[in-house]
Amino acid sequence: MKRVINTTNAPAAIGPYSQAVEANGTLYISGQIPINPAVAKIEATDITSQTEQVFANIKAILDEAGYSFTDVVKSTVFIADIADFAAMNEVYKKYYHVECPARSAFAVKSLPLGALVEIETIAVK
């Protein structure tokens, strides 16, 4: 069974996709960029603040779906500048510090709306 997850506490999709979809006990969260849902734009200008906003968005979707960070099994991080990896990782490890999920991280040429970081997430109950 498939369930589409949507919350106003995370940014609305900016294209033809869902914030998240749950299927058979697995939650697939679309890549989250640092849009502040209260103003529908990216306000943060540095990697640390942008990563914090991304995790706030992920948390809002996890909460809406009835999941938590302890349910996360896989993250994929897209970062605009690999030189920002260490700063992003400092924020990342606040959320995942015990039984961390599997992770891939990629430096990419650019991200939507000029974001510095995007993270997609998979969680399992």
**E-only strand ranges, the chain:** 2-5, 20-23, 26-32, 35-36, 41-42, 72-79, 102-107, 117-124
pLDDT band at 14 (very low <50, low <70, confident <90, very high): confident
DSSP state of 13: P
Q: Kindly report, residue by residue over 72-114, the tens digit of the pLDDT.
A: 999 999 999 999 999 999 999 999 988 999 999 999 999 999 9
Task: Look up the pTM and report it.
Answer: 0.96
Residue partners of 54: CB distance under 8 A and separation at least 6: 32, 33, 34, 117, 118, 119
pLDDT band at 45 (very low <50, low <70, confident <90, very high): very high
The fold for domain 2-124 equals: 60s Ribosomal Protein L30; Chain: A; (3.30.1330)
> What proportion of the chain, given as a percentage, has pLDDT over 70?
100
Q: How far apart are CA 36 and CA 41, in angstroms?
A: 6
pLDDT given at position 17: 96
Q: How far apart are CA 9 and CA 91, in angstroms?
A: 20
Query: In the chain, where are the structural domains located?
Result: 2-124
pLDDT band at 1 (very low <50, low <70, confident <90, very high): confident
